[in-house]
Amino acid sequence: MDLILELLRYISRQPKGAVLVFLPGWDTISKLHNMMKDDSVLASRNYLVIPLHSMMPTASQREVFDTPPEGVRKIVLATNIAETSITIDDVVYVIDGGRIKMKNYDKEANLVTLLPEWVTLANARQRRGRAGRVQDGVCYHLYTRARESMMDDYPLPEIQRTRLEEIILHIKILKLGSMRPFLSRIMMPPDTSVVEISLQMLQAINALDREENLTPLGFHLARLPMDPLTGRMLLMGAIFSCIAPVLTVAASLNFKDPFVTPMGKQRLVDETKRKISKGMRSDHLLLVKVYEGWEKACHYRDERNYCWDNFLSSSILNQLKNMRRQFMGLLHDHKFVNTRDPNGAEVNRNSENVALVRAIITAGLYPNVARIMPMKGKPKPNKPLKIRTAQERSVTLHPKSVNETEREFDYPWLMYREKIKSSKVFIHDSSMVPNYPLLFFGEKLNYNPSEGVINVDGFVRVRSSQHVAHLVQSLRNELDQLLEFKISHPGITRWDRNSKEGILLHTIVDLISSERGTSQDSYYSDSDDQDDDGF
């Protein structure tokens, strides 16, 4: 970073022209921006510094394309988004830091990584090509010839660095043959162990049967333009008639959340999120509340003020609106709903039931469960939470999460979409959930009467009396049968209490809605991997 700063000082003495600096991510952009603000040369009014990142407001990023006033040099700090996605005509000088952050899948750890790595020769050529689009330019590559000689020619194709669940479902629905032979014949085949992990995941959520054939659920998931977990969440939202909030969560998880972060305003953005969430302890329900507030603001023609006051992107919210309509149309085409209106009354009879919406989020995100370990003594504001998953003994809530500053939780479970390894293993989005959603929407239940524990998957274990366990097991069996029928025979859910379907669903919704947080009072030992939480 010091070398880049010195190079910027050197360029400041060269003929006029904008500067484009390639950096790995938001953290390095912020760090360099702060260093420039404190620099005696670069902090003057003769320099217009513009961070270019998806977290920045659209209005701020439009400045990238504007010509600065006479005597002012524009300096753009960007990630690899500036390699191909945009062209800045007045760039004369390019500084290539030589590093890039790419999402990769670590098959050994079974998680996504987002770590700095060296660029490929293809990346370097693209960056060099950004210099001097309309006049002669200069590109400074901040790595040695020896390093360059060891660089790969091109980035790995996506099929070799991601999970394969979506691809497998598409191959299955197109009837292209047995999975392993088909994937082994493509030009750059994925690792066989990743194929196995993805197949196991699809079987765990009942999208494939034991012979790896599509189930009715898998058939519907393959026809939805999203990952299988989010697709399952949508189907459950339709069946349980709480589709509007679930559409919002699904759209955001498949695109991006609508919050933007002006440079230097991170604390204000975090405070705004916490103020809106008001103790919901859920990044997903925060999205629902923000979107509903935006719809109301649009109705009263106050969209601009609403977005400005809450650090929201109007363009992202409009994209989420379009995606919600698209998803709703697909559900209608597949006969899971009887209207294309995301806000229709019949398909949203339970949308105000926050506990149920949490349960449907659980149904969609399972098996992505993390557990908050109880603290000894009174919670301390500055003491980080101890959180673990089935795979990791320690994970960290991302600073952007509304749960990151929380220290008291009614329930010990957090559902999350994705954990990513960067400087630590981070959970980026999370929702606190109680026991019943995991019991009704997790894996098959197994009750151990000698321990008094309902075992969901070896990681999720819930203390229970034998009477309650048998009741839950009976309801779960009936629910599984009903959901299997509803998936195989799509149609509007019958909520009248005179039907068997209505009686069962009302009973389950009532149980989910009535659960109160007591599980944090249960015992726990750091040395015991099999401790349990009760009702």
| Last residue of one domain, picked from the residues 168, 197, 223 | 223
Convert the pLDDT of each residue in 4-45 to its tens digit: 999 999 999 999 999 999 999 988 999 999 999 888 888 888
Domain-embedded: residue 380: no
pLDDT at 527: 36
Same domain, 144 and 212: no
Amino acid letter at 74? K
Q: Report d(CA 363, CA 366) in Å as an integer.
A: 6
Same domain, 25 and 47: yes
Same domain, 97 and 149: yes
Same domain, 123 and 162: no
Q: Per the structure, how many domains does the chain have?
A: 2
Domain-embedded: residue 196: yes
Q: Report d(CA 427, CA 396) in Å as an integer.
A: 6
Domain-embedded: residue 55: yes
Phi and psi at 454, nearest 5°, equal: -90, 120
Q: Computed from CA positions of residues 41, 80, 228, 338, in that sequence, does the dihedral angle turn out positive or negative? A: positive
pLDDT at 226: 92
Q: Which residues contact 246 (CB under 8 A, 6 or more apart)?
A: 233, 234, 236, 237, 238, 357, 360, 361, 364
Domain-embedded: residue 310: no
For 34, the domain range is 2-103+111-155
Same domain, 188 and 148: no
Q: What is the DSSP string of 135-204?
A: S--EEEE-S-HHHHHTS-SSPPPGGGSS--HHHHHHHHHTT---HHHHHHTSSSPPPHHHHHHHHHHHHH
| Last residue of one domain, picked from the residues 203, 223, 243 | 223
Mean pLDDT computed over 264-276: 92
| Last residue of one domain, picked from the residues 168, 192, 223 | 223
pLDDT band of residue 268 (cuts 50, 70, 90) is very high
Q: Report d(CA 107, CA 470) in Å as an integer.
A: 38
Same domain, 94 and 10: yes
Same domain, 81 and 162: no
Convert the pLDDT of each residue in 184-214 to its tens digit: 999 999 999 999 999 999 998 999 999 999 9
Mean pLDDT computed over 401-421: 91
Domain-embedded: residue 66: yes
Same domain, 65 and 94: yes
Same domain, 92 and 142: yes
Q: In the predicted model, is pLDDT for residue 250 greater than 90?
A: yes
Same domain, 14 and 137: yes
Domain-embedded: residue 137: yes
Convert the pLDDT of each residue in 295-353 to its tens digit: 999 999 999 999 999 999 999 999 999 999 999 999 999 999 999 999 999 999 999 99
Instruction: Copy the structure tokens of residue 190.
Output: 């994925």
Same domain, 146 and 176: no
Provide the CATH number for the domain around residue 140.
3.40.50.300
Mean pLDDT computed over 44-57: 84
Same domain, 180 and 116: no
Strands, DSSP E only, in 13-160? 18-22, 47-52, 73-78, 91-96, 99-106, 111-118, 138-141
> If 0-12 CB within 10 Å is exposed, 13-18 middle and 19+ buried, where does residue 53 land?
buried
